[in-house]
Structures are given as structure tokens and as C-alpha cells.
Amino acid sequence: EKSEKMAMTRLRSISPRLLSHPRRFFNDKSRIDRLLRPNELSPSALDLEEIDVDLYVAPQSILWAPAGGVGVFGGQVIGQALHAASLTSQDHDFELHSMHAYFLRPGNVNHPIVYTVKRTRDGRSFLSRTIEATQRGKVIFECAASFHKREECGINHSPTMPNVPPPEELEEFDSERLVKSLLKRSYNTKFEEDFMRKAAILQAIDKPFAIDVRWVGKNLASPSPSEPRSLVWMKTSKTLPNNPHLHRAVAAAFSDFFLIATACKPHGIGFPSPKIEVLASLDHSMWFHSPFRADEWLLVDINSPMLSSSRALSFGNIFTRDGNLAVSCAQEGLLRFRKEEDFVV
């Protein structure tokens, strides 16, 4: 709470004119190392402003909530937290290799998020960081991240990438068209107004991150029951800076898009759907194995082996186009469905 008060005090000291013009504020040359798209006029969803040593803030102007969510998109919070942690590492030989996070409270898109980074340990081979995200004096998110100085090893093994069509042969995912079709399906529910609001938010889902998505097979919106597995190609629409830390932060945001929603597939519930009452991340872990670029095609392979007690568990592997396993991830999320009697036939 003390660090958040300090952050807000410093934030208020920034010229109100700058805060009222976030494009100008985030395009400041002195802040270029903290920006995801330093040459763009609009701020990125992962941009941070340094308030003090190891203290960063994400203004509410860049925060957003996805359809079916209960607060700020979890992937955005994870990405910002890892971005903050990487800014405390001055040695570029150290690469993020793992992170473990808990979502404690829903983030509020109407208030800035303050990130406090604790330098837990700086060793010869590993760096450890603890990141705490707060809003209005309350902790909403905690994360432990570890950085490793890359080592050469002659003994390696990894899984084989699934044999799927290349992204160029697949249809580009059209979120706007999906929203319109889902709105038509939602007209027979009592929750039309609520679902329309959430669907409108979904329409902007690719704007903060500007991502290209190509589904292998049916996308998550399909109401047909199927195995709890998703295969999807993803990348950013625009070229990112040559900063490996930023590419990992973006991949962390990517990983939160479809993990829990994949658990809906065996039950014939598309995502998004008015049948879903709550979909929220509880905890999230990631392991970074090899170099990659988030602005080049990545194949995300997701499997959800369990849904019980309103908690869904999903695992994911992220492969580079040439078949290297770049990232592994696991997530548990809260998944609540509305009762059948809540729907009008």
C-alpha cells in the first residue's frame, strides 16, 4: 500500500496535460526502452511508466476487459508484470525461463495498476524477482519470475510439433463477424443486454495487442461438442523491437487467450457464450525453453484434461514455425455456467 501511495503521488506530479494526451506521453523518447511499440502513436497494452526504482504503473487508458471476463484481461496483467520484472535486469545475458502467478482479485479497468518488483536474488546463474500488482491499496496479482543465464548443453530432447497446415492456408479469424453471429444466437436469452455489452468488448479484442489468429479446425465459438483441444496460429500484426524480454511478455499475454476456454469444448458450449457466467484466471505458470519472436507465427497447442468443481485445468505448448518448442504453460481458471432454467426457449 505504501508503494502504491508513492506511485500515485509521483503519477499526480506528471503534467495533467501529458496524462490527457497518452499518445504524446508514451511516445516520449526518454521512455523508449519501456515501450512495446516505441514508433507507434498509440500506446501498447503492455507499456509501463517508471515511477521510482522498481516501481511501475500501467494507466487505466490502456487496460481492457475481454468478453466473459470479470476484470482486466489476465494476459495483459501477466505481460505487464513480466515486462516490469525484465526492466530490473540490466544484464541481457539473463533470459526469463519461468514464471508462476496467482490472480487474487479482478482488476478494475477504471483504475491504474501499480507494479512493485522485489529483487529477491541476483546470482551468477539465476535472477529471481517477485512482482506484486495493486489497485487502490489492494493486491490483485502476485508473480514469481526467474531469469537464467543461457547455457550450452549437448543433451536435449523436446516433443514434436503437431502436423498442421501452415497459417497461409488457413482462414484469418474475423472477430467482428463472430460477434455478429453470436449476437443473433443470444437473442433468445434473458441476458441479451449483458451479452451484447460483453460481445462489443470482444470486438476490440485484437486492437490492444493487434494480433493475427488462424484456427486449425473449428474455433472456440463452435457449439458442437469436441475433444478439449485447440490448435491455433498466432502472432502480432506489427513488427516488435528486437528485445527478447518484450517478446516473452507478449507471448505471456497470448497464452491467456484460449487456455481455459478450451475446457468448454467437450460440453458443446462455444466461447464466448451467454451460457458462461464467469471465466476468470486463478493461477498461471509458464516455462520459456528457446528463443522466439512473437511477431512471427507461433503454433499454440492447448489441451484441457480436467473440469471439476467449476475449476478448469489446461496445458499449452507454443511452437515456432520451424518446430521448436519455445514455451510451455499451464493454467487453472474459474469456469461457471448459467443454469438451464435461466434461458428462455
Residue positions annotated with a catalytic role: 256, 281, 331
How many whole angstroms separate alpha carbon 283 and alpha carbon 74?
10
How many whole angstroms separate alpha carbon 237 and alpha carbon 211?
5
Name the 3-class secondary structure at 24.
Answer: helix
Q: Which residues pair with 312 in a beta bridge?
A: 307, 333
Are 302 and 226 within 8 A, CB to CB? no
- The residue ranges of DSSP E strands in 3-93, in sequence order, are 49-52, 55-58
How many whole angstroms separate alpha carbon 21 and alpha carbon 18?
5
How many whole angstroms separate alpha carbon 232 and alpha carbon 234?
6
Are 130 and 90 within 8 A, CB to CB? no
124 by Cβ neighbours in 10 Å (0-12 / 13-18 / 19+) ranks as: exposed
How many whole angstroms separate alpha carbon 206 and alpha carbon 59?
19
Cell of 123: 546470482
How many whole angstroms separate alpha carbon 170 and alpha carbon 153?
37
DSSP 246-298: HHHHHHHHHHTTTTTGGGGGGGT--SS-TTEEEEEEEEEEEEE-S---TTS-E
